[in-house]
Amino acid sequence: MALSQRLEFRQTQALVMTPQLMQAIKLLQLSSLDLAAYVEAELERNPLLERASDDDAPAPGVEPQAPAPERDEDSASTPDWIGENLETSRASMEQGLGTELENVFPDDGGEKAAPVEMPPPAYSEWSGVGSGGSDDGSYNLEAFVSEEITLADHLAKQMALAISDPAGRMIGQYLVDMVDEAGYLSGDLASVADKLGAPLRDVEAVLAVLQTLDPPGVCARNLTECLALQLKERDRFDPAMQALVEHLDLLAKRDLGALRRLCGVDEEDLADMIGEIRSLNPKPGLAFGSTLVQPIVPDVYVRAAPDGNWQVELNSDTLPKVLISQRYYAQVSKGTRSDKDKTYLADCLQTATWLVRALDQRAKTILKVSSEIVRQQDGFFTKGVQHLRPLNLKTVADAIGMHESTVSRVTANKYMATSRGIFELKYFFTSSIAASDGGEAHSAEAVRHRIRQLIDGEAAADVLSDDTIVDKLREAGIDIARRTVAKYREAMRIPSSVQRRREKQAASA
């Protein structure tokens, strides 16, 4: 058979990852804080977008339409290019954006909602007045707010008084910069000496001075040194206490007999020494300013409905409210003449309309996934964590008609506020553990809760081993291996049966 070249027509379907489609996928997995930052950047970049108030926000599920240009009463007609751009933008949004977002949000179905009236942006006669009512902006309230003192600043001020040598101050400042927020010195002194070109003994001498600064225990290289510095400050670092500090691993295991032999003290003195160790601060640097911890803001609220079901609603405070400035678009479009400006304005209109619709579809998808999770985990909300069912992404995706990847992105960095606390959406997806009697499988989280209940209820004279826990779980219909029990116990930071027995005996004594 001879080889030849020829032309053929083939019809295939493929998903084209356009920039807008990739951005829509990215919006799904953003947390509420990241989404707010993204929307703020779009508000600064796109002149046609403006922040909407609660009264101006479109109703959920209503698809914003492209704004129609206003006719000036003094002009007889609108420029032809405005109508052409509007028609082009509408066709592009209906065909391009609708198709792209349907790939990400298959629940949309292409329905067309009634147009929403977009009021003009409100301007106040006080909009140009600066803080405190002054036009020149000279008054700044933030200038009167006291600055939070950080650990590095606190150490630097003390070092300036404790070290007078310029070379010593340079070494000291370098070491201060290496102190973490807990007060520990991270890094090797030999590498510091090599980088600064200073003798190692000089670096060690400067470190010895820094370790005498406030708070006691700061600039330590490990927990043992941190506790030793605090004990020296209290003049309590005798040989017995030194032996106790150097064997903290035995103290963690509650091996009191070995500690008594190493320290050379009786049981009463050892108890006093342990009490003094517990009064020390293992992280002295945390008393000063550090990185602010952002609180968790729930994206979804779950409340009990009067009919006995569960009501799922979105947290409106986490949903960015933006709309398209209709009046500004009409004003700018009338004075635009060059092709470059026309193209830029059309792109801004298309991007703004896509963003408003993408945010609306994102909210719909989060609500739909959350509602299905609540339906699947009804036993958890009603009776507690022991009734948490095994659940995976495929089960939720099949129930709501979406792809698993979409559900995975929706549940990332999203939180649900319930009567039992705030949980990440991924918390409700747990692996299954088979039942010993062939019945319904058990959730891994429910099994962990059952293990914790058994350990919390054990007596000092009858501490449960992992094998005993396996037998009790099998009696309750849970088929689980011993290594799985050990893995769950270690994940919950529960010590072994030997360590628990020592702790309970020491507490009872």
301 has a pLDDT exceeding 90 = yes
65 has a pLDDT exceeding 50 = no
Q: Give the tens place of pLDDT for each residue, 458-474.
A: 887 788 888 889 888 88
Q: Give the tens place of pLDDT for each residue, 242-259.
A: 999 999 888 888 888 888
158 has a pLDDT exceeding 70 = yes
* pLDDT for the residue 288: 80
Mean pLDDT across the chain, nearest whole number? Answer: 78
- Tokens, residue 351: 């991007």
Q: Give the tens place of pLDDT for each residue, 108-124.
A: 444 443 333 333 433 33
128 has a pLDDT exceeding 60 = no
Residues 6+ positions from 355 with CB-CB distance below 8 Å: 39, 42, 46, 49, 322
Q: Yes or no: say if 200 and 193 are a contact pair by the CB < 8 Å rule.
A: yes
Euclidean distance between CA atoms 66 and 89, whole angstroms: 8
- Of 110-119, 308-317, 378-387, 458-467, the poorest mean pLDDT is in 110-119
- Tokens 């050892």, residue located: 270
Residue 95 is given by DSSP the state I
Query: Measured in Å, how far apart are the chain's first and last C-alpha atoms?
Result: 95
Specify the higher pLDDT residue, 96 or 357: 357
Euclidean distance between CA atoms 505 and 463, whole angstroms: 11
Taking residues 283-291, report their average pLDDT.
76
77 has a pLDDT exceeding 50 = no
* pLDDT for the residue 231: 92
* pLDDT for the residue 299: 92
- Of 125-139, 162-176, 467-481, the poorest mean pLDDT is in 125-139
- Tokens 């009167």, residue located: 144
* pLDDT for the residue 373: 92
Euclidean distance between CA atoms 33 and 39, whole angstroms: 10
How many CB atoms within 10 Å of residue 259? 21
User: Rounded to the nearest 5 degrees, what angle is found at the Cα of 55, between the Cα atoms of 52 and 60?
Assistant: 80
Closest residue by Cα to residue 223 from 283, 155, 271, 278 = 283
Taking residues 83-110, report their average pLDDT.
46
Q: Residue 312's beta-bridge partner residues? A: 302
Taking residues 151-159, report their average pLDDT.
88
282 has a pLDDT exceeding 80 = yes
Q: Yes or no: say if 102 and 359 are a contact pair by the CB < 8 Å rule.
A: no
- Tokens 């939720």, residue located: 396
260 has a pLDDT exceeding 80 = yes
484 has a pLDDT exceeding 70 = yes
How many CB atoms within 10 Å of residue 257? 12
Euclidean distance between CA atoms 476 and 90, whole angstroms: 62
* pLDDT for the residue 62: 37
% pLDDT > 70, the chain: 77
- Give the dihedral sign, CA 417/421/423/429: negative
CA–CA distances in Å: residue 166 to residues 61, 109, 163, 360: 67, 72, 8, 61
Beta strands in 336-463 (DSSP E): 415-418, 421-424, 432-433, 442-443
* pLDDT for the residue 422: 86
- What type of residue is 389? R
How many CB atoms within 10 Å of residue 175? 22
Taking residues 44-54, report their average pLDDT.
82
Confidence of residue 437 (pLDDT cuts 50, 70, 90): low
Question: What own/partner pairs with CB < 8 Å and gap ≥ 24 does 405-408 have?
Answer: 406/28, 406/104, 406/105, 406/365, 407/369
The DSSP string of 443-479 is EHHHHHHHHHHHHHT-BTTBPPPHHHHHHHHHHTTB-
Closest residue by Cα to residue 431 from 369, 473, 396, 389 = 389
* pLDDT for the residue 218: 92
Taking residues 274-282, report their average pLDDT.
90
Residue 392 is given by DSSP the state -
229 has a pLDDT exceeding 90 = yes
* pLDDT for the residue 94: 43
Q: Residue 432's beta-bridge partner residues? A: 443
Phi, psi (5° rounding) for residue 418? -125, 175
* pLDDT for the residue 321: 86
* pLDDT for the residue 439: 62
* pLDDT for the residue 101: 52
* pLDDT for the residue 436: 60
Specify the higher pLDDT residue, 80 or 279: 279
Taking residues 136-158, report their average pLDDT.
67
* pLDDT for the residue 140: 53
Ramachandran assignment for 183, one of left (phi > 0), alpha (psi -120 to 50 degrees), beta (any other): left
List of domains in the chain: 21-69+79-106+297-430 (no CATH), 151-241+275-287 (no CATH), 432-508 (1.10.10)
* pLDDT for the residue 289: 63
**Total count of residues recorded for the chain:** 509
Euclidean distance between CA atoms 259 and 250, whole angstroms: 7
* pLDDT for the residue 99: 45
Q: Yes or no: say if 340 and 407 are a contact pair by the CB < 8 Å rule.
A: no
* pLDDT for the residue 67: 41
* pLDDT for the residue 300: 93
> Is the bond into 47 cis (omega within 30 degrees of 0)?
no
Euclidean distance between CA atoms 331 and 192, whole angstroms: 63
Cα dihedral angle (135, 138, 141, 146), rounded to 10 degrees?
170
Euclidean distance between CA atoms 58 and 26, whole angstroms: 23
- Tokens, residue 420: 């039992």
293 has a pLDDT exceeding 60 = no
- Of 99-108, 130-139, 189-198, 269-278, the poorest mean pLDDT is in 130-139
Specify the higher pLDDT residue, 40 or 135: 40
How many CB atoms within 10 Å of residue 394? 11
Map residue 492 onto helix, strand or coil.
Answer: coil
Q: Yes or no: say if 207 and 198 are a contact pair by the CB < 8 Å rule.
A: no
- Tokens, residue 65: 């339409």
Euclidean distance between CA atoms 24 and 357, whole angstroms: 10
* pLDDT for the residue 109: 44
Residue 121 is given by DSSP the state P
Taking residues 6-12, report their average pLDDT.
87
Specify the higher pLDDT residue, 39 or 420: 39
